[in-house]
Amino acid sequence: MRVSTEGGRVRLWALLAALVLVLVGTVAACGGDDDDDDGEATPTTETGGTDGEATGEVIKIGVFSNNEGAFAPFEGQTFGGAMLPLINRGATPVSGDPTDGVENATIAGHPIEIVYGGSDSTPDKAVEEARRLVEQEGVDILVGPLSGSEGIAVANYSKEQPGVTFVNGISGAQDTTLKVRSPNFFRFHNDGTQWTAGLGDYAYNELGWRNVVTIGDDYDFPYSQIAGFVAEFCSIGGNVTERLWPPLGEEDYSSYITQIPEDVDGFFMGVGGTGTVAFVKQYEQLRGNLADKIMGGIFMTDPVILKELGDQVVGVVTAGMTSGDSQEPAYLEYTQQIEDSYPDLAGTGSSVFLYGYYTAMEAIAQALEQVDGDLSDEHAAFRDALANLELDAPLGTIKLDENRQAIMDNFLQQIVEDQTGDGVPDVKTLKTIPEVDQTFAGAFSPETPSPDRTNPACEEGTPPPWTEQGGGG
């Protein structure tokens, strides 16, 4: 750049200032690398143990979720869920915003240092973030990620890091545990397929649906969800005539809605994230009320989305691993704890995002307590404790199968008009399907094709035991 003589000096100084700023940034970035080797606290992290009680070695736990992309609205819930087990063990929230984390966390006498991260629902970014937390920050245990395709990529990455234990956040693709089967990757919640247990049965036997269309975002989590619905609905004689796959993060669903034939009995709605609200509103504009036409995935009953949707979705039947109307004392205590810790999250206890991250951190805490925080020998004792843990969670016991994948209850539920007076529709649990396992009563195995746009095929077969045809009624 040629500097003109008049005023050139002022401009040059401005340029120099900008250069210095950038250089300082770069140098600080390089410097940040060295700090972590000494175990010094960087600005992101809070070291516990100031109360003098915790004397053990510091355990570093990384927690990451999505702070960009279609699932960014759920970031607060995920962090809230991950922090709650620590708060219940004496940690104090930094602020009312869960993403600010907690301080003075201890588990089994060990100070817990939390390192936070975020990605954007793409597998690339998730692995990049996981690598930063594992390789640069040096975490012992990593909790995350949030989204389906992210989970498969991070589970694959975990094989390269045998010294670190990975516990899934809330990413729900089937392949993550059924196909990848990484020995140090654990998932303490059901996958997308398991979450649909009971829906196909209800559609066929209660609603009398025979011909159904499915619609879901074009990536691994909805593939898994719709795989579960198809496997169950078709096994008892239903017919899925078409499967529509709009891209994740789509904003205009009108062209997909017009592809849904007018004469189908109903359709399964697996559009998630920021798309759920857009889809429902656009459907109403194009085709009128959808409440008696659709079954929803886990997103329809998410408290945040339900608030947005309001009465439009009253009557819709969904299924998932949480039941918002549970009156179990453990569940009420859990929702109260959320409200006390993070008033902004009041009423979101039934969010799978919150519950998934909660069960992950709670499982870690209980396993660490069992082994007194012993992470020696590549976490051997700790992993053994995790694998054999019977987690007494607020909505029922969670245990793991041999692929370190959760087996837990699933709840069939209906969205009903507001009864609590908060202006948000409520949910009513219709049925509890106990201990749904990942094979979906034998429909899936490591050898069956991965759920995708066309798999599994819609075929009559052995009905799962929880269906009427399977003897469950």
Q: Which residues bind another protein (CB under 8 A)?
A: 1-3, 11-12, 14-16, 18-19, 21-22, 25-26, 28-30, 32-33, 37, 42-44, 67-68, 99, 116-118, 120-125, 127-129, 131-132, 135-137, 148-149, 152-153, 156-157, 160-161, 173, 217-220, 247-248, 452-453
CB of 52 to another protein, least distance (A): 26
Instruction: Pick between residue 131 and residue 399 the one whose CB is nearest to another protein.
Output: 131
Instruction: Pick between residue 151 and residue 200 the one whose CB is nearest to another protein.
Output: 151
CB of 113 to another protein, least distance (A): 13
Instruction: Pick between residue 67 and residue 274 the one whose CB is nearest to another protein.
Output: 67
CB of 223 to another protein, least distance (A): 9
What is the C-alpha separation between 177 and 233, in angstroms, rounded? 24
Instruction: Pick between residue 102 and residue 391 the one whose CB is nearest to another protein.
Output: 102
CB of 202 to another protein, least distance (A): 29
CB of 35 to another protein, least distance (A): 9
CB of 326 to another protein, least distance (A): 33
Instruction: Pick between residue 19 and residue 330 the one whose CB is nearest to another protein.
Output: 19
8 A C-beta contact, residue 283 and residue 163: no
CB of 176 to another protein, least distance (A): 11
Instruction: Pick between residue 25 and residue 310 the one whose CB is nearest to another protein.
Output: 25
Q: What is the DSSP pairing of strand 294-296 with strand 317-320?
A: parallel
Instruction: Pick between residue 58 and residue 127 the one whose CB is nearest to another protein.
Output: 127
Instruction: Pick between residue 46 and residue 409 the one whose CB is nearest to another protein.
Output: 46
What is the C-alpha separation between 313 and 425, in angstroms, rounded? 8
Give all strands of the β-sheet with 110-119 in edge-to-edge order: 106-107, 110-119, 59-66, 141-143, 165-167, 185-186
CB of 274 to another protein, least distance (A): 15
Burial class (CB in 10 A: 0-12, 13-18, 19+), 112: buried
Query: Chain-centre distance of CA 144, in angstroms?
Result: 8
CB of 218 to another protein, least distance (A): 5
SS3 letters across the chain: CCCCCCCHHHHHHHHHHHHHHHHHHHHHHHHHHHHHHCCCCCCCCECCCCCCCCCCCCEEEEEEEECCCCCHHHHHHHHHHHHHHHHCCCCEECCCCHHHCEECCEECCEEEEEEEEEECCCHHHHHHHHHHHHHHCCCCEEECCCCHHHHHHHHHHHCCCCCCEEECCCCCCCHHHHCCCCCCEEECCCCCCHHHCCHHHHHHHHCCCCEEEEEECCCHHHHHHHHHHHHHHHHCCCEEEEEECCCCCCCCCHHHHCCCCCCCCEEEEECCCCHHHHHHHHHHHHHCCCCCCEEECCCCCCHHHHHHHHHHHCCCEEEECCCCCCCCHHHHHHHHHHHHHCHHHCCCCCCHHHHHHHHHHHHHHHHHHHCCCCCHHHHHHHHHHHHCCCEEECCEEEEECCCCEEEEEEEEEEEECCCCCCCCCEEEEEEEEEEECCCCCCCCCCCCCCCCCCCCCCCCCCCCCCCCCCCCC
Instruction: Pick between residue 401 and residue 452 the one whose CB is nearest to another protein.
Output: 452
CB of 454 to another protein, least distance (A): 9
CB of 31 to another protein, least distance (A): 9
Instruction: Pick between residue 37 and residue 377 the one whose CB is nearest to another protein.
Output: 37
Instruction: Pick between residue 25 and residue 261 the one whose CB is nearest to another protein.
Output: 25
